[in-house]
A and B are shown apart, each in its own frame.
Chain A
């Protein structure tokens, strides 16, 4: 009965309290703030983990799906191309070099091509500022261009526009790929894993610039990779290498000094991107194009 006396109960309570208090005292640094900070840090870690994993996966994907050499770090580069249309003479060497370098199938398949724009003079008295716009691209412009479609005296402007993958910041082709076979490499290239592509053609439909095609031999999607096998080994893309007029400017934004051609290009030109209204944010810029270029 003595055990149940109030005094004993009190003492019992006191003894049971002690360990709790001890824990509180011993963990005096476990303040509300520190606990919250720890929870926050854990949460941040959990949240950041997928992002880190994705970034890591993207790097791994580069090696799995491209011919990048060992030791190449895609996170240390940001490749880009720019085009000074004022310089292009439409020789077509770039398109030809691309076909050869990348084993692009014969026929109407092109990773890069050249368009010729001919804007005619307006008919006298028509009240129009310009005449019609005629565009052609015989065989991708590979073997140059013949006589213009209208007599020379009727031409107001004529120029050549090389086309290639626009390296979109928000690539619609990457967005729609059902298996993730096409992806944004950390170094700015948009690549395709041919061992993974199911050949559905959705990316071809989604590209606003007509830059993709289904390879009739491999039955997978294909496009300009900026000659990934070359640039990862310190070489220039084939089209840039052969361009006799330096229309195509290629560079690494993460490693370009002020004298680098790509920085010079940005410094010396006001630039335009193709189809900016679609929000794809192309990273390939053009200098000297006309509103008619789409």
Chain B
């Protein structure tokens, strides 16, 4: 969140954090207007799903597959073949699916949000809204934040299921693992509880709020021309990812207690 070095950079960073919290608070206050903005929420929701679903499937399938591939042979060698399903299941549900999907969405959707709002800012469209007494937070930020807060947890549930499938297929077909499909699922069901999936979904909900508010804030703070838009997009993605990783640790600590 800092773009300059030294004390000035620190001040800018804290200014940005303050502005992000303020924007989040203003968006929360505008929640009663959500029903009025339902069409825009639906449009944004559709756009997020449409833009991300295929990538989510591919990414999560191979994440599940690679966990099985990395852990399977080692565990089988030590006579712990029955633990493969549990390891794939719990790592995907609690950690990898929420974090990886959040990073993917930050790059795919957060960047698009920052670019769209940033170009509206640069080309005076946001000023035009304000002169019509239309609050940009209600019109632009609220629908995006609601849409991403619904879409990301849903994508994460989807990613967990597809990731498990990827792990199960590799576990059965890889000659160094060869764990039957049924045994993999049985072990996964023994280890993974509903609350583990709920934890992952809750994390992804928090990450969605981070991506939405950080990206919209960067868009609204855009100055300059096309170069300014490019800077905002980069900042939106980088800041979102940094905050996702930090909050992942904080949320994990809280949820483990």
Instruction: Please say whether chains A and B are actual partners in one complex.
Output: no
A contact set with B: CB distance below 8 Å = none
B contact set with A: CB distance below 8 Å = none
